[in-house]
Amino acid sequence: MNDTGIEIPLAGNWFTEVCDAHGTAFSLRITERLTEVKTAWQRIEIFNTTDFGKLMVIDGCVMLSSRDNFIYHEMMAHPALFIHEQPQNILIVGGGDCGTLREVLRHASVETAVQVEIDEQVTRLAEQYFPELCESNNDARASLQFKDALQWVKNADAESLDVIIVDSTDPIDPAEGLFSELFYRDCWQALRPGGIIVQQSESPILHMNILREMHHAMATAGYTAVKTLQFPQPVYPSGWWSATLARKGEMFTGYRQKEATEKPFETHYYNAEIHTASFAMPSFFLKELST
Amino acid sequence: MNDTGIEIPLAGNWFTEVCDAHGTAFSLRITERLTEVKTAWQRIEIFNTTDFGKLMVIDGCVMLSSRDNFIYHEMMAHPALFIHEQPQNILIVGGGDCGTLREVLRHASVETAVQVEIDEQVTRLAEQYFPELCESNNDARASLQFKDALQWVKNADAESLDVIIVDSTDPIDPAEGLFSELFYRDCWQALRPGGIIVQQSESPILHMNILREMHHAMATAGYTAVKTLQFPQPVYPSGWWSATLARKGEMFTGYRQKEATEKPFETHYYNAEIHTASFAMPSFFLKELST
């Protein structure tokens, strides 16, 4: 049994995340639990695994492992930043492990990258257990703020941001408000024309209801175009994940392909071919969104 | 503990496949085990799951679920068949659940589709528990043979086949020989010029050693071009899978895009955009194959 009384397939040296609503579970073999911190918002655990490096878990859900977080972080940052003509002012909502921030700061055009994470402990634990993700935290362009991002965006100057990256937990407390039309409207106000919001949008095979609602809410909030990309993410439910982008006042008509091809920094998943490919969506996805 | 003495994270109503070499496990919640059959080659089990329909397991490894097998079967069949200019004579090696055969027979150009599966019980159980996958088994173009495919291919007429689809289990007994240079040479002999072999090639993030060896063995066996495509497969280790294609006497320079776009049959994952996209591979994959 876990905290919520759900029977879990766990024995011995395994951490298991049960996806009760979908009858699946994913396990990583662990050698030890390094720490457990209860904060005002959530319970954060760090484990050592035998094959995936360190593992961060929040309220029983896998957040990231050392081994495969590169896919998620690169795909949350680079597609949006290579679509925007000149991304200068970036907001990261959540993202406390700082992996997305690190990818954002690889872009020379970026002048400011503000990260607004509600729970400072996520960042403090990332600094300790995932130092490689935090290597750009002292970049002069970065600002780490530990606040409620809903309020931060509501109070942001109109047309002051180029890209907003919503790198949050699943759409339940405390992240539920980040999946609402109201929040998307506040983001729309804060974005300059041509600005892009990109948000992690769960698994195409498990969470089509969330994806449909997100597309609807973003369109209703005033964005001109909404588009979803897909990528593998082995440690998340179903191993298959997505991010959804919406743009203010412009369609998605391409990206800075030459710059993406000749980018002066290394990536492990993202490249120019992957950029284009990630926007190709399965037939069932297209069909379900069109109904 | 499972049969091999490996500690597994299993309790109660879950079927769990442990990927011991990589420290991961995947579980599906089950309501009952419908049958267990021990054959000369392997142990086959069928379960009812709460959310993924029926589940077939061979020697403790997930083969397919009702819910997500469409991705694998479509991606094993349609990319190769839409690359070939006029696929008429097809061989399926393994593929006993008949899902790949069903997809192959959707192509009007196909005149013969021979399926050579070593274990007849796989097909008999598929007919019983996955009848939707077997709906084309009585197609006049189909021939189901229960034999050793290694011998079958060795004895095949030279230049008698257009596409060979190797839809086998992992590269251990009884499928180990299907991942060898010798087998690829026999396939090369049996293929017409322009012919294509396509083989399931495991997980890009877990099995780069197998992928590297397969590329090397196919190139050494005489194929002119070798190319890997990727797709999600939630019930397989890491949720991320691949297929590798090799072509006799021709490069991979495109596909019948118009026919793929206007195909007269329905697919749930594959479409023309996915076709192109699936061949875009991550930076780490390209780097590891180039060394």
Q: Is the pLDDT of residue A162 over 70?
A: yes
- In 10 A of CB A21, how many CB atoms? 10
Predicted confidence (pLDDT) at residue A147 exceeds the cutoff of 50: yes
Distance CA A251, CA A234 (A): 31
- The dihedral over CA atoms of A161, A165, A171, A176, expressed in degrees to the nearest 10, equals -20
pLDDT of residue A235 exceeding 70, the answer is: yes
How high is the pLDDT of residue B147? 96
The alpha-carbon gap from B240 to the nearest alpha carbon of chain A, in Å, equals 6
Per-chain mean pLDDT for chain A: 94
Q: Which residues of B touch A16 (CB under 8 A)?
A: 9, 25, 27
Tell me the C-alpha distance between A117 and A99, whole Å: 13
Is A167 labeled as catalytic in the residue annotation? yes
> What residues 13-42 of chain A have any CB closer than 8 A to a CB of chain B?
13-14, 16, 22-29
Instruction: Show me where the domains of chain B are located.
Output: 14-65, 69-290
* B22 contacts A25? CB cut-off 8 A: no
Which chain B residue's Cα is nearest to A261? Answer: B283
Count CB pairs under 8 A between chains A and B: 160
Closest CB to A25: pick one of B7, B27, B205: B27
CB contact under 8 A, B24 and A25: no
Name the DSSP class of A140. T
Can you tell me the distance from the alpha carbon of B133 to that of B66, in angstroms, rounded to the nearest whole number?
Answer: 9
Place of tokens 């274990």: B119
Does the beta carbon of B10 lie under 8 angstroms from any beta carbon of chain A? yes
In whole angstroms, what is the distance from residue A268 CA to residue B241 CA?
Answer: 17
Chain A residues close to B230, C-beta within 8 Å: 232
The verdict on A52 touching B (C-beta cutoff 8 Å) is yes
Contact B16, B60 (CB under 8 A): no
Q: How, if at all, do strands B54-58 and B61-65 pair? A: antiparallel
Which residues of chain B have a CB within 8 Å of the CB of A22? 51
Mean pLDDT, rounded, for A105-127: 98
Q: Which chain B residue is nearest to residue A21, measuring alpha carbons?
A: B51
Q: Which CATH class is domain B69-290?
A: alpha beta
Contact between B7 and A12 using a beta-carbon 8 Å cutoff: yes
At CA A200, angle to CA A196 and CA A206, rounded to 5? 135
Q: Which residues of A touch B281 (CB under 8 A)?
A: 273-274
Closest CA to B84 of B105, B110, B106: B110
pLDDT at residue number A177: 85
Q: Which two structure tokens, joined as six digits, stand for B167?
A: 């839809």
Domain B14-65 classified CATH 2.30.140.10?
Answer: yes
Given a contact cutoff of 8 angstroms between Cβ atoms, the answer to whether B87 and B257 are in contact is no
Cβ contact B22–A271 (<8 Å): no
d(Cα A168, Cα A176) in Å, to the nearest integer? 9
The answer to whether A232 faces chain B, any CB pair under 8 Å, is yes
d(CA B276, nearest CA chain A) in Å: 7
Amino acid A178: pLDDT: 87
Q: Residue A26 and residue B27: Cβ atoms within 8 Å?
A: yes
* Least-confidence region, from A5-19, A184-198, B198-212, B244-258: A5-19
Interface touch B26/A26, C-beta < 8 Å: yes
| Inter-chain CB proximity A51 and B22 less than 8 Å | yes
Query: What's the confidence (pLDDT) of residue A286?
Result: 97
The per-residue pLDDT for A6 is 47
Could you check whether the bond before residue B174 is cis, i.e. omega within 30 degrees of 0? yes
Omega before residue A174 within 30° of 0, cis: yes
Contact at 8 Å (CB) between B250 and B279?
no
Encoded amino acid at B149, one letter: A
Q: Give the minimum alpha-carbon distance from B146 to chain A in angstroms, rounded to a whole number.
A: 33
Q: A3 pLDDT exceeds 70?
A: no
Q: Is B147 on the interface with A (CB under 8 A)?
A: no
The shortest C-alpha distance from B190 to chain A (Å) reads 33
Chain A residue with Cα closest to B203: A234
Question: Tokens standing for A255?
Answer: 């990206």
Out of B167, B170, B173, B186, the active site residue is B167
Say which range, A86-100, A108-122, A166-180, B267-281, has the weakest mean pLDDT. A166-180
Please name the residues between 57 and 96 in chain B that touch chain A, using a CB distance below 8 Å: 67-68, 71
In this predicted structure, what is the pLDDT of residue B1? 41
pLDDT at residue B8, as a whole number: 52
With a cut of 70, which residues of chain B have pLDDT below it? Answer: 1-12, 173
CB–CB of B284 and A269 under 8 A? yes
Rounded to whole angstroms, how far apart are CA atoms A237 and A125? 23
**Catalytic, out of A162, A167, A170, A186:** A167
> CB of A205 within 8 Å of any CB in chain B?
yes
pLDDT above 50 (res A4): no
Mutate to test the interface with A, among B26, B208, B289 (most CBs of A within 10 A): B26
Nearest-by-CA chain A residue for B284: A268
Predicted local confidence at residue B2, as pLDDT: 45
No. of H helices and E strands in chain B?
Answer: 9, 12
Quick check: A230 and B230 CB within 8 A? Answer: no
Structure tokens belonging to residue B252: 């991979």
